[in-house]
Amino acid sequence: MNAAKRREIFRRLKEHNPQPTTELEFVSTFELLVAVMLSAQATDLSVNKVTRKLFPIANTPEAILALGIEGLSNYIKSIGLYNGKAKNIIATCQQLINLHNSQVPCTREALEALPGVGRKTANVVLNTAFHQAVMAVDTHVFRVSNRTHLAIGKNVLEVEEKLMKVISKEYLVDAHHWLILHGRYVCKARKPQCGSCCIEDLCEYPAKTSDI
């Protein structure tokens, strides 16, 4: 895919959604971090249902730490892998208090040093909270990038690195939100809505009814 076509894809995505953002609900960087940690292998909708009950009770490292693993688990048990997530969130809260004055750090290295925080989670926080031009590649971004031929890769890191190289600077900060939302609502895994896709004529995937 040539540069002009890539630029036009993001021009149209921006035209349809000028200010894209995550669908996770949060009012602080710490709430965002917890929500993203909970979202692994879970939908944003299911996470929002949980955090609407959790955050009014505990939305600081100290308050969640005071709940303990069992107390936190009671709030998040409707989410998959909740036991492991509770342990990681409690350990992360302790580390934030001990090492970062209860603040969420703004570097990849410090974020990835937190228990349960991998590259994708770090990228979401860096992009959404700190407006850094990084690319969080989830299943939607991976699918859309490969299906359209925007950036073809065999794994998420390969796709991430290619997207960082080929997306114009003017679109890079918002690009991962556009791709996630496009994959979630239009370029769906099993039944892509090609007829209502604003970039259908720019898509280079030869068999649009197939799946990636």
Spatial separation of the C-alpha atoms in residues 63 and 44, rounded to whole Å: 23
Q: Which of 138, 154, 165, 169 is catalytic?
A: 138
Spatial separation of the C-alpha atoms in residues 163 and 158, rounded to whole Å: 9
Q: Which of 14, 44, 53, 120 is catalytic?
A: 120
Give, in order, the Cα–Cα distances in Å from 18 to each of 78, 175, 184.
34, 11, 17
Show the CA angle centred on residue 109, arms to residues 103 and 114, nearest 5°. Answer: 55
Q: Is 120 a catalytic residue?
A: yes
Q: Residue 61 corresponds to which tokens in the numbers above?
A: 């490292």
* Residues designated catalytic: 120, 138
